Structure formats: C-alpha cells, structure tokens
Amino acid sequence: MANNIYLNEILPLDKFKTKIKLVRHYDSRVKLNLNHGGFNDLVKYGLLDEYQQYQKKNILNCEYFVSFYGEENSKAVFYGIFKVNNKQQNAPLPSEKFNKFWSEMVISDSTFYYDLEELAEFKKYKNRIVIKWGEGSSTRSWHQWYNPKKQKELLEIRPINFIGEFPGYKMAILDYFDLKKMIENPDSNRSWFDELSRISAVYAILDKSSGNIYIGSAYGESGGLWGRWSTYAKDPTGGNKLLTELGKNNEKFSNNLQYSILEVLPKGTRKEDVISIEQLYKNKLGTKVFGLNSN
C-alpha cells in the first residue's frame, strides 16, 4: 500500500556497505527457571544478548545483523543492530546469571559462539519498533539476508517503557517487573493508568515460588487501584506483615510476585463494602490459614 511505512525509512539499512542479516529470535519451548515465563522474559531479565551469542549453526555469517524478538501474529520487536567481531566453536559456558534463569541451553563442541558489539546509535529504538516479519514459507525463516527490494512493514513505534495495551480487567496479570515499569511510566502506559485509576477493586498477589496468595483491596485512595498498586512499586511489601517477612528472608522476593484483579468495584464504593468483599475472597481462598494474609 502507498501509505505503508517500512523499516528502512526508520533504520538506514541501505547505508551499510555490506550484506546484513535480519534475525527474529523466538522459541516457544523456552521456559525459564525461578517461576518466570517464556521466551520474552529473556529480554525482560537482560538475557537475550547472551542468548543470541550461541547458535547451533553458523547463522550469523555476516558482518552486521539486525536483531528482533518475536511476538504473536508474526510481529517482530527491534532489539538492536550488532556487529559480529569474531566467531568460534568450542564455545565458553554461559554466565552464572544466565544459568540461574535458564539452565536448559545445550552447549556442545560444535556450537558457534559470536563476539557481538551493539551499535549505540540505534539503542533509542530498542523494544520500540515493531514490524511485520512476514507470511508464508519464504518469510517465516527466522534469519534472512536483508533485501532492499523486500522491505518489512512498520506496524508501530512504541513509547519508551511500554508494557503493552491494557487487556481488560479479567485478563490483567502483571509480574513485579512490569508493575513497577508501568507505575513509573504512566504516560507510556496510558491505557493502564486510565482504567486502573477509575476503579476500586479486590486484588491478589501470588507468590509464584510457594503458591501462597495475598488478597488486598483498593478503596477510597486517591487514584483508585492505580494508587494502591503504586505503593507496591515503591515497596513490594506494601507494608503488609507477611510480605514483609518474605522480604526479610529473600531480598529478591519481588521477582516471584504476580498481580491480578479478582473483582472490580465502582470507585465510589463504600470502604465497608469493599472490605466485606475482600474478606469473602480471603475466606474462599483460605489466605488467612495457608496464604499471606495475617488478618
């Protein structure tokens, strides 16, 4: 279409005086340790740089490559442009940090290892440019030579520190990493701010390491549920007794926390009514006996 915008209009790939590759990293089989999620958490926890240094085949057989990571519907999110300085086999072992999060990577004598250098001038677009990778067998390949005659369509440029569009109250599930990013960047996450600011609610905090749940509520605070969850962005215990105990035993306990909404209530709902519903959920789920509620 004449009105479409393409990747090379944002990134000057045609100016590279050598053949370059486009690489879209995605593997639905990746499941990280420590109760984290799938492949995109490699990005979230700063592991994709190391992940892409290891390849079973000589995939990065180029001087430069443009790195993306995959999302649904053949989307690809820009991660950076990298120079391939060197390659070797007999790859070194992954770092301790990498193994802590994902211990399933298989390294053999035939594994290729690449010394990569990210080009600083393009870092401002990291996690922001989203393109359509393509359709059909010719464009599904996760590594492709850049072809100026076959441009990738630009779908969106996301705000800095964007966590995704608000999915609806029933589907809203956040880990602490995204909760904190969302609260600290309300302008970049306007749909979340608008929806959470206008409601009272009963919510759950799940400790994924144990399965224990804390149930709380937002009532009457300035800013609705957004205002209540803002306290957790500043202090993941929220001042709650048993969450504070978790923090004493593990300073990184917030990595295991997941936030969701159990019931939405009008922002003007009386405090007594909100607390009554909160207590009902505590009784239903047994969070005072087995969970993280102390009262």
Residue 196: which CATH number?
A: 3.40.1440.10
What total of structural domains would you count in the chain? 2
User: What is the edge-to-edge ordering of all strands in the sheet holding 213-218?
Assistant: 173-175, 257-266, 199-207, 213-218
pLDDT of residue 12 exceeding 90? yes
Check whether residue 223 and residue 151 sit in a common domain.
Answer: no
Task: From 206, 149, 152, select the one nearest 175 (Cα to Cα).
Answer: 206
Q: What is the pLDDT of residues 99-131, one digit of tens each?
A: 887 777 788 889 999 999 999 999 999 999 999
Q: For 122-162, write each residue's pLDDT tens digit.
A: 999 999 999 999 876 555 799 999 999 999 999 999 999 99
Question: In sequence order, what are the beta bridge partners of 201?
Answer: 218, 264
294, part of any domain: no
Does some domain include residue 295?
no
Q: Which helix (H) or strand (E) holds 182?
A: helix 176-184
At 138 the pLDDT is 52
Let me know whether 13 and 114 are in one domain.
Answer: yes
pLDDT score of 276 more than 90: yes
Asked if residue 1 is part of any domain, the answer here is no
pTM score: 0.87
pLDDT score recorded for residue 123: 97
Instruction: State whether 24 and 110 are in the same domain.
Output: yes
For residue 63, pLDDT over 90 is answered with yes
The residue written with tokens 């969302």 in the block is 182
- The Cβ-side half-sphere exposure at 214, using a 13 Å CA radius, reads 24
For residues 145 and 246, membership in a common domain is answered with no
What does the pLDDT read at residue 35? 65
The residue to which tokens 């009902």 are assigned: 280
Q: Are residues 150 and 181 in the same domain?
A: no
Which residues lie closer than 8 Å to 39 by C-beta, 6 or more apart? 25, 26, 27, 28, 30, 69, 70
User: Do 71 and 43 share a structural domain?
Assistant: yes
| C-alpha distances out from residue 136 to 63, 140, 150, 189, 223, Å | 27, 6, 14, 33, 47
Q: Is 223 helix (H, G, I), strand (E, B) or coil?
A: coil
Q: What average pLDDT does range 214-243 have in this prediction?
A: 93
> Residues 213-218: what's their mean pLDDT?
97
CB atoms within 10 A of CB 57: 10
